[in-house]
Amino acid sequence: MTLLVDIRRQQGDFALDVTFDAPPGITVLFGRSGSGKTSVINAVAGLVQPDQGHISVAGRVLFDGQTNLPVHKRNLGYVFQDARLFPHLTVAQNLDYGRWFRPRALRRADRDKIVEMLGIGSILARRPAALSGGEKQRVAIGRALLSDPAMILADEPLAALDNERKAEILPYFERLRDELQVPILYVSHAPAEVARLATTVVVLDQGRVVRAGPATEVLSDPQVTPLGPTEAGAVLDATVTRHHDDGLTELLAGTLPLLVPQLQRDPGTQVRVRVEAQDVMLALYKPQGISALNAFPAVVRDIRIGTGPGALVQIEAGGNLLLARITRRSVTALGLAPGQPVFAVLKAVSVARD
């Protein structure tokens, strides 16, 4: 199931001109505040009308020159920053609200499975006032899923939560991505969220798409740093291979072995690892006598020189693309250029990021 978006809209001095397609999985609209992310998701939802363009989900046209379906006919589930639950209804009644407007013959969502997946079976009799922020968001996700939507729209659904509640919710979005067939369009400006959840990333800047594609490719592109070089980092898909007696876990990303602090995952489990650019050092020769446990050969693929003292260097190692944030002086001193072999150095404690 694919979402196609090709829209233009003038909002005062802000011009939105966006084209992208979102394949199955979680497609994240990523960029600074004011880049147009919420405008795009609201246009897909039907909350705002583009001046011109086309929006369709799985071939069903939601908007074009002749069609502009109203919100209630788009068959989309929307999860807002705040849960927006009905305070006078119980959790069970909030969950069932969307189903009340769906013809019984078209109801496909398995209520029991969704309740189990979101871990909300024990709170069905409560009202929203008695729920934590994380519980409210899980109920909001369940309500959206039980409306049997063609797609879920999530506008920074974790923005109003503290770090503990965010950590509580993220695994549920991972389960939605991995276990259900409902695609999700997700708005975020948090790199850790994007790295953990995204199948596809669409980077927006000043109302335009500057890069779109698989998360592992987009996030490792040194020319695309929507939140600035200090937030740059790459994402690696890895497999847990073994646990060591000294508290370390060994991963294999492509053909690249990595040591990280122990993960509570069984060998063979697939994991995602975010490696921040500021945690990667480069050397011309293999380092000796250092405490960092991850030192591996790599090849320079691209260099972005910043306007200040910094630079971002894209390297390839073991079939993975990573970023290293170093100084312009270091680029010159090492004579770095595309195609040059180097060694990358990464502390084990720097790799294990949620």
Kind and range of the H or E element at 11?
Answer: strand 3-11
Kind and range of the H or E element at 331?
Answer: helix 328-334
Residues 211 and 187: their CA atoms lie apart, in Å, by: 15
pLDDT of residue 106: 55
Kind and range of the H or E element at 334?
Answer: helix 328-334
Q: Which two tokens stand for residue 14?
A: 């802000």
Nearest of 220, 319, 336 to residue 283 by alpha carbon: 336
The pLDDT profile of the chain, 354 residues, written as one tens digit per residue, is 689 999 999 988 999 999 999 888 999 999 888 899 999 999 999 999 999 999 999 899 999 988 999 998 998 989 988 888 999 999 999 998 877 766 565 556 678 888 888 889 999 999 999 998 889 988 998 888 888 888 999 998 888 788 888 888 888 888 888 887 788 999 988 888 888 899 999 999 999 999 999 988 898 888 887 766 777 888 899 999 999 999 999 999 999 999 999 888 899 998 888 899 999 999 999 998 888 889 999 999 999 997 889 899 999 999 999 999 999 999 999 999 999 999 999 987 776 544
Residues 218 and 225: their CA atoms lie apart, in Å, by: 9
pLDDT of residue 228: 67
Q: Residue 31: left if φ>0, alpha if ψ -120 to 50, beta else—which one?
A: left
The β-bridge partners of 16 are: 9
What are the start-end ranges of the E strands in 227-351? 233-243, 248-253, 256-261, 270-276, 280-283, 294-305, 310-317, 320-327, 341-346
Nearest of 155, 179, 151 to residue 77 by alpha carbon: 151
